[in-house]
Structure 1
Amino acid sequence: MKFTKGYWMNLPGVENADVVQIREVKIYEDKVYLYAVPYPQDARAMGGPVLELFISSPKADILRTQAFHFMGSAKKEPQFELDMEACPLTVEEFDGGLSIISGKTELRITKNPASFTYYYEGKKLTNVGDRFGHAMISTLTTPEGPFMRVQMDLDIGEKVYGLGERFTPFVKNGQVVDMWNEDGGTCTEISYKNIPFYMTNKGYGLLVNTSGKVSYEICSEAVTRVQFSVPGEKIDFMVIGGGDGKTVLQNYTALTGRPALPPAWSFGLWLTTSFTTSYDEKTVRSFVDGMAERKIPLHVFHFDCYWMKENEWCNFTWDEAMFDDVPGMLSRMKNECGLKICVWINSYIGQKSPLFKEAMEKGYLLKRPNGDVWQWDLWQAGMGLVDFTNPDAWKWYQSKLRVLLDQGVDCFKTDFGERIPTDAVYYDGSDPELMHNYYTYLYNKCVFELLEEYKGKNQACLFARSATVGGQKFPVHWGGDCSSNYLSMSESLRGGLSLCMSGFGFWSHDISGFEGTAPADVYKRWAAFGLLSTHSRLHGSNSYRVPWLFGDEAVDVVRKFTNLKCTLMPYLYSAAVETHETGVPTMRAMVLEFPDDIPCTDLDRQYMLGGSLLVAPVFTKSGDVDYYLPEGTWTNFLTGEVVEGGKWRHEVHDFMSLPLMARENSLIAVGADDQKVEYDYGKDLTLHLFALKDQAVADVKDMHGNHLLKACAKNVDGKVTLTFEGRAENLKVLLRNIHTAQDLTGAEAEDTAQGLLLTVNADLAPIAFTL
C-alpha cells in the first residue's frame, strides 16, 4: 500500500508522524522501552501523536520491535504459535544512543535524530529508512483508517526473497505484495500461502508478526527500500540475523517451528483419480493394475472430491453408488498392491451434507453477526465453514476423519482454506479480518495432529494447499492449480522456491499441470521434474494422468525417474531429516547453497535437491536448456560427464534425461531398490563419491529418520581415506570416473563403466588408497 506521491508529497488525505527523536529510554533485563516523538529536540509540544517502542529478543539472534500509537485496541487477535523466550539483552549506552545485542545480532540506536541500524557479527545488515531526517517507523491517518508503516533500507545489489509461495518473479524487488490468502491459481500475483517473512542475500530476514493483511512495497514506493504496513495502531516486526540464508532459516524456523518429518512412503509416486473425472473401484483398480503391468512403481493412491456424493462435500462418507465395498477395496489396495491411501477433504460443509444440520445445531460453524450460520453458494450450495476456534468443533471434525482412518485411509489432502469471510463471528471472539489468513493454520493443525496421534510421530502427512506462518510444521504442501504448459511448469517452480525461502521444507506440484490436458512432451518433461521434487503426484482436473494416455515413451519416462527416485531415497530421506532438524529446505534455491556466487542470486529455473544434486528441469519440447553451474567440478549423475563450473551451459536433452549434476566433494547414498521408497537403506547401499578435492561426508538415516551410517572421505595430497561409523550390510563405494587406485587397503575393487567399485569389509574398516 502506497502513502506517498514522490519523495516530498503524501497522497491526498494521508498524514504521517515518524520517529524524529527518542525522548526517553528505560532498560529492563529482557526489553528496552523507547518513547519516540515526531518533532526535533528543541521543540515543545503537547498531545500526540507519539510512538512507544519495545525492543526485545524472543530467541538468540532475533531482535523484536513492537511500536504502538494507541495501545487500547480491543480486538482479539489470533497469535502465531511462536517458540519465544525472554532472552536477556546486552545493552550498552553511548553518547547519544545505545546498542542492544542478542546473540550475534545488534541494533544500534541514536536518539536525536533517531536512527535504527542492524548488524550481525559487526557487519551492517540494514537500517530503518530515513526521510527528511525522520526514521521511517510511522503512524499514519488515511481515508481508509489508521496505519502503521516501517521502511527498511536495501543495499546496492541486495535482493529480497520469500513472502510465501509466490509465482511472480523469484526476486521480489519491484513488486507490491499483500499478505492475503486467496484461491488464484499459479498464474496470478495472489497466493494460497502468504508468509509475512522475507530474507535477503545480505544474510538476514524479517518477520512481521501479525496474521492480518501486511502490505509490502519492495522497491516500488521508495526504490531503495522495503516498506511494510499494517492497518491499525501498532506494528510488530522481528529482524532475524544469521549471516547467510541457511542460518537465517534455521533461526526463523527455531522461532516459528521446524518442518515435521514426512513419512518415507510419502516421497514415492502418487497417482490420483483427478478431479472432475468419472471413476469407481473398477476404474481405480485399472489404474493401479496398469501401473503394475508396465512395471511403474506406485506408492500412494489419492481419491479426489468425488469419493463423496456430489453436492455433499464434505460428508466424509464414501459414495456407495461408486464404492460399494470400501473396506474390501482399501484392504485390497493396501495389502495386495502395497499402497498408501489419501482422500480429499476440506473444512466446508455443504447444506445438503447430512453433517450440516448436526454442525449447525451444535454451533460448530462460523456465524454472521445476527446469529445466523455464515453460508454462501460458492463451491458447495449453502455451505458453512467449520469454526476451529470452538474446541468441540475441533474434536467433532477429527471424529469424522478418525472413521476414515479406521477404514484404512493413511493421509488427507487438506484442500482450500483461503476464501475465509471477514464478516463472520468466531466462537472465541477472534477478529474475522485477522482470522482470514490464520484460519488455514487451525484447519491443517487439526488434521495433522489427528494423523500424528493415530499414526505416530513422523508418520503424519497432509497434502495441503493453503498456509500461513508455522504451516511448515504440517507438511506436505503443493502448488495448487497450474495449467498444462511449460509456462505454468516454470511458474510452479518459482512458487516452490519462493515457499522454500519462507521456512517450508517440502513441496510438490501437479505433474503435467492441473487445468486442461498437457501434450505428451509437456507431460514427459514435467514428469522428470516432478520426480526430482521432494514429493511427486500425477493429478489433473478433467482428465486422467496415467502415463499410457500420453504415449509409450511417457510410460518409459515415468518408470525411469520413479526408479531413480527410489534408489535415491537414502540420500533424499537423509536430506529430509536435515530439513526437519535444521529448517533448511530439501528443495533449495541456488542462492541458499551458493550465496557468494552472484549469478545464483537470480536463478529460478534450477535448484539444489539436498546439498549435493543440482536439478535443471527442461522447459522446452526441443530439449534445449540453459543452466548455470557454480564454481567447481560437476559430474552428470546420469551420464558421468565431468564439467567445470563458474559458467552457463547450453544442452539438448531427450525425454529420458535432464541436467542432474553432482557437486564436487559429494558422497551420495544410493540404494539398491528401484521399486520401493521404504526399505532397509543400509542393505546393499552404494556411496557414490564425486570429484573429491578435500572432504566429503554422507550422514545416512534409515526410513524412520534414525542414524544409520556416517561415512567420511578425505583427500590429502592425493591420499584418500574413507571411514565409516554405524551399520551397513554389503556396503560399497563407487569412485565416479576414477578407474585406478594405488596401494588400496580395506576393500576389494572392481572396475566398472562408472568407475572403481569398492566393496567395504564387513567390519566397516577404513579404506585407504592413492589417486
Structure 2
Amino acid sequence: MEFTNATSVRADFALPAAGLALQIEAHAPGVYRVRCAPPETLLAREEKPTARQKALAEMLLARDEPVGELATSSVVGGEGWRLEQGEIALEVASNPLRLALYRGDRCVLRTVGHDALQCAGSGNDTQWRLVTALGADESLHGLGETAGDPDRRGARLVSDNAADRVGSLLWSTRGWGVYFNTLGRIEYDLAAGSSDVCRYDVHDAVLDFFLFAGEPTEILNQFTALTGRAGQPGLWPMGVWLEQAPGTSVDEALGIVETFRANEWSVDTLQLAAPAPYGFLSDKPAFEWNPERCGDIREFQSRLQKANVQLAAPTLPAVLAGTPLFEEWEDRGWLLIRDEDGSACVFPGNDVTGGQPYGLLDLTNKDVYKLWVERQRQAVDEGLGAPVCSAQVDIPDDVTARGGECGAVLRRLYPLLTRRALFDAVAGHRTPQEGVIVSSDIFPAVQRSAWQEGPRCENTWAGMEHSLRTALALGDSGIPVQTHRLGSAQHPLDSMTPELYVRWLATCVFSANFSFQGVPGLLPTAFDSSVQELVRHWLQWRYRLIPYVLGIIEDAVRTGLPVQRSMALCFPADPVAQAWDTQYMLGPALLVAPMLEPGTKARVYLPEGSAWWDMNTGWRYEGGTLLEVEAGLDTLPIFGREGHMLCLGPGGLHTGDFNSARLLDEVWMFGMPEHSPVVMRNKIRVMQMQGSSYIKGLEGLKILPSEGLEVKRRGAEVRISRAR
C-alpha cells in the first residue's frame, strides 16, 4: 500500500498490486468512512454519479458530506499511518494492510490476519470480505430484531433474508460500531462456531463502510445523524390502539370501542384487520373503499369521529392478478417484471389481498411512485389516519425493477420505497411532517420511521418476554419505537390468565405504545371486575405518561436514542447490568423491571453510576444494588434515576381530552434535579446555582419532591434546595 494524498478530511492510498484505491475520511467526530474499489470506479462514483446512483445514495445517507477534521501522520517505524480526530484515531498498516481503531490509548477494533481485507470478482459481481477480531468479554448488539440473546455474538445473518430480520448497525460494548453503506447483500458471521473473529462479506462494486468509536449512545447518535432520524408521530398515535379481530364486522369493532368508553377504558385508534378495506378498482387506477367492509365512507368517517377514534387500515402497493388493470400495467411496465419474458411477476396471495395473487407496483418508476402516493393521500383525506403496510416479500432473483435493481438490492430497496411513499402521502404535505406508518419491515434507513410494529406472540409469559426482547433489540439497532400487542388473536387463548393479562398490560403501558386485540378472550370484558378495575388503573397511567413518552420520541429526532433502552446500551461499563437483559430504561429517567413470571416477588438490579428512587416506596438506593421487591398487580418495579424528573399529564379517555395549554399535571423528582426533563415539546429547563436547582416552566404544576428537598416558588421560577 502506498500513501498518495491527504487533506483536512481525507487520506488517499493506492494498492497497485491489487489495482485498488483506498479512501479514509473523517466523516464526523468519532466516525471514519472507508471506501475501497478500483480507482476509476471510485472516481466515477465521486465525480460523475448517475441519477440513479444519486437517488440510491440519498436513500441510505442523510448526510453525505464529511464534517470531521483529520490529522495524518506516519506511525513509529514508518510502516503505516495514523489518522487522528482528537482522542479517536485509525491506524492503517501497510504490509499487510491492517486497520486498528483507537479511543485514546485503547484499541477497540482491529482487523486480523494477512487477508483482513479481500476482494474477488469485478463490477457488480465484486465480493469483499473484512475480518475483525473480538475480545473474549466482548458482546455485540444491534443488527435488527431478535427475541433471543441480545448479544449477537455467534450469529450468522444475511441482510436480504427477510426471516433474519437484519438491521444496519452493529456495535460492541467495547466502544465501536460498523455500518456497511450498501443496498447489496451483506453476510455477517459474528464469530460463529466459537471463533474469535467476525467476517463480513459485502456484495457491491465498492466497499463502503463507516466505523464509529465511542459509548453506545454516542454511536447511535452518530449513526442516526448519518443515516437519518425519525420524524414525530403527533399526539393521537400515542393513545391506545384496538385491533379489529379477523372476520368481524366494523359494527362489532365500533361496539368494542363503545364498551371501552362506557367502562372508562382509554382508547384512541381502531386498526382494521386484513384484507385491505381500500385499494385500486379492477379496471381503473382509482382507489375505492370496500362498501362491504365500511359502507358509505363518509358515514363511516362520521361514526369514527363521533366515537373519538382514528382509523388505521392495511394496504399494499399491489394490483390483483387477472384484472384489466393488472394487464394494462403489465403492458406499461408498471409492475415488477421477470427477466425471462418481460411478464409481470405474480406473487401468491396473502392476508392483505384476501388470498388473491397479485403484482407489485414498480415503485422505482417515478410515475408509479407518484400515482401511489396520490392515491394514498386521497385515502388520508377521506379519513385514514395511518396506513398499515408490510411489503418485505420474497422477490425472486429473476425479477427486475425499471431502475435496474434486482436480487438482494431489490429485496432491500422495495420496503424502503414503500414506507417512504406512504410517509409522503400521510405527512409530506403537512408542516411539521407528523404521521406514522405501521409496518414490521426492516430495511436500510428503517430508523427514519417513527413506528415499528411488534411481533404476534403466543399468549404466554414467554410470549410477553418475546415482545419485550424484540423491542430492546430494535432499540439497540437505532429504531426508536416498537409497539406491542397485548396477546395475539392468531394463537390459542387458553393460556392467557388474569395475572398474565394484567402484567402484560402494565409492561405495555411503560413502552412506546401498544394495542388491544379485538377478540373476546383478549379484551378486558373477558375477566372479572377486579381485573377490569386494574385495566382502568393501568390505562390511566398510560395516558398520564404520554407527555413523557412522546417527549422521548421527540428527543430521538435529536439524539437517535430509542424509547425502550437496553441495559447494554445505557450501561456498557456495567457487565452485571447487561446480564439483567429484560430490564430496560424507559427514556432517560425510568428503570423498568417487568414481571415476566407468576408471583409478586421480583429481583431487580440497579446499575452502577447512579442512585435510584423506588417509585412505589420513595426509598433511595445506591447503584450496584441487587434488590428483592414486592409488586402487586397494581404496581411494577420502577425506579427513577437520580437527578432526573418525571413529568406526568392528567390522563383521559382519549387524546382529544388533552388540553394543550394544560398538558402537564404534576412532576416527580428523583433527588436534586440536575437534568432538564424529557417531556412533549419541552419548555422546562433546569439550572444549578450555589447548591440549588432553579427550574423554569413548572408554573402551576403539582411537584412531588424527594425526601430531604425543599421547594420554593418565586414567580415563574421554582427553587429546589436541600432541606435544612
**1:572 aligns with one of 549, 565, 585:** 549
- Contact conserved, 2:276 with 2:315, CA < 8 A, in 1? no
Which has the larger share of helix? 2
Deviations 1:142-168 (A, max 9, x none): 9xx863211112223121100012223
User: Partner of 2:241 in structure 1?
Assistant: 270
User: Partner of 1:197 in structure 2?
Assistant: 169
The Cα shift of 1:626 comes to 3.4
In structure 1, what residue type is equivalent to 2:23? F
State yes or no: 1:177 paired with 2:177.
no
In structure 2, what residue type is equivalent to 1:34? F
State yes or no: 1:416 paired with 2:408.
no
CA distance in 2, matches of 1:71, 1:382: 45
Q: 1:665 to 1:765 in 2, by over 3 A?
A: closer
CA distance in 1, matches of 2:721, 2:630: 39
Consecutive unaligned residues of structure 1, counting only runs of 5 or more, are: 1-21, 38-47, 185-189, 747-759
- Contact conserved, 1:682 with 1:708, CA < 8 A, in 2? no
The Cα shift of 1:729 comes to 4.3
User: Partner of 2:216 in structure 1?
Assistant: 245
The Cα shift of 1:292 comes to 0.5
Q: 1:557 to 1:391 in 2, by over 3 A?
A: farther
Q: 1:321 to 1:450 in 2, by over 3 A?
A: closer
The Cα shift of 1:372 comes to 0.6
User: Partner of 1:65 in structure 2?
Assistant: 34
In structure 2, what residue type is equivalent to 1:115? R
The worse-fitting range, judged by mean Cα deviation, of 577-586 and 566-575 is: 566-575
**2:409 aligns with one of 431, 434, 443:** 434
- Contact conserved, 1:273 with 1:544, CA < 8 A, in 2? no
Q: 1:146 to 1:395 in 2, by over 3 A?
A: closer
What SS does the corresponding residue of 1:239 show, helix, strand or coil?
strand
- Contact conserved, 2:398 with 2:406, CA < 8 A, in 1? no
User: Partner of 2:47 in structure 1?
Assistant: none
In structure 1, what residue type is equivalent to 2:584? Y
**1:160 aligns with one of 103, 128, 140:** 140
Q: 1:545 to 1:330 in 2, by over 3 A?
A: farther
State yes or no: 1:615 paired with 2:592.
yes
The worse-fitting range, judged by mean Cα deviation, of 648-657 and 442-451 is: 648-657
State yes or no: 1:766 paired with 2:722.
no
User: Partner of 1:289 in structure 2?
Assistant: 258
User: Partner of 1:40 in structure 2?
Assistant: none
Any residues of structure 2 matched to 1:147-546 within 5 Å, and which? 147-182=127-162, 184=163, 190-191=164-165, 194-220=166-192, 223-231=195-203, 234-241=206-213, 243-274=214-245, 276-280=246-250, 282-306=251-275, 308=277, 317-334=288-305, 336-351=306-321, 356-357=326-327, 359-369=329-339, 370-379=341-350, 380-513=355-488, 515-518=490-493, 519-520=496-497, 521-539=499-517, 545-546=522-523
In structure 2, what residue type is equivalent to 1:469? P
**1:120 aligns with one of 73, 87, 103:** 103
What SS does the corresponding residue of 2:356 show, helix, strand or coil?
coil
**2:10 aligns with one of 11, 31, 49:** 31
CA distance in 2, matches of 1:234, 1:124: 27
- Contact conserved, 1:682 with 1:709, CA < 8 A, in 2? no
User: Partner of 1:670 in structure 2?
Assistant: 648
The Cα shift of 1:443 comes to 0.6
Identity %: 21
What SS does the corresponding residue of 2:313 show, helix, strand or coil?
strand
CA distance in 1, matches of 2:521, 2:160: 32
CA distance in 2, matches of 1:697, 1:573: 18
- Contact conserved, 1:129 with 1:153, CA < 8 A, in 2? yes
In structure 1, what residue type is equivalent to 2:435? A
CA distance in 2, matches of 1:338, 1:729: 30
Q: 1:172 to 1:412 in 2, by over 3 A?
A: same
User: Partner of 1:92 in structure 2?
Assistant: 73
User: Partner of 2:576 in structure 1?
Assistant: 599
What SS does the corresponding residue of 2:142 show, helix, strand or coil?
strand
In structure 2, what residue type is equivalent to 1:585? P
In structure 1, what residue type is equivalent to 2:137? G
- Contact conserved, 1:364 with 1:393, CA < 8 A, in 2? yes
The Cα shift of 1:669 comes to 1.1
In structure 1, what residue type is equivalent to 2:723? T
The Cα shift of 1:420 comes to 2.9
Q: 1:761 to 1:545 in 2, by over 3 A?
A: farther
Q: 1:348 to 1:571 in 2, by over 3 A?
A: same
CA distance in 2, matches of 1:714, 1:668: 21
In structure 2, what residue type is equivalent to 1:129? V
- Contact conserved, 2:141 with 2:473, CA < 8 A, in 1? yes
- Contact conserved, 2:216 with 2:572, CA < 8 A, in 1? yes
The Cα shift of 1:85 comes to 0.8
CA distance in 1, matches of 2:448, 2:332: 30
CA distance in 2, matches of 1:278, 1:745: 55
Q: 1:269 to 1:107 in 2, by over 3 A?
A: same
- Contact conserved, 2:97 with 2:116, CA < 8 A, in 1? no
The Cα shift of 1:71 comes to 6.8
Any residues of structure 2 matched to 1:14-29 within 5 Å, and which? 22-23=1-2, 25-28=4-7
- Contact conserved, 1:463 with 1:475, CA < 8 A, in 2? no
In structure 1, what residue type is equivalent to 2:248? S
In structure 2, what residue type is equivalent to 1:90? A
Q: 1:460 to 1:318 in 2, by over 3 A?
A: same
User: Partner of 1:637 in structure 2?
Assistant: 615
The worse-fitting range, judged by mean Cα deviation, of 529-538 and 291-300 is: 529-538
The Cα shift of 1:683 comes to 5.4
What SS does the corresponding residue of 2:294 show, helix, strand or coil?
coil
What SS does the corresponding residue of 2:83 show, helix, strand or coil?
strand
User: Partner of 1:589 in structure 2?
Assistant: 566
In structure 2, what residue type is equivalent to 1:101? E
CA distance in 2, matches of 1:364, 1:603: 51
In structure 1, what residue type is equivalent to 2:133? D
TM-score, normalised relative to structure 1: 0.83
What SS does the corresponding residue of 2:289 show, helix, strand or coil?
coil
In structure 2, what residue type is equivalent to 1:628? Y
Q: 1:597 to 1:531 in 2, by over 3 A?
A: same
User: Partner of 2:116 in structure 1?
Assistant: 136
Q: 1:452 to 1:604 in 2, by over 3 A?
A: same
The Cα shift of 1:118 comes to 0.9
CA distance in 1, matches of 2:621, 2:481: 30
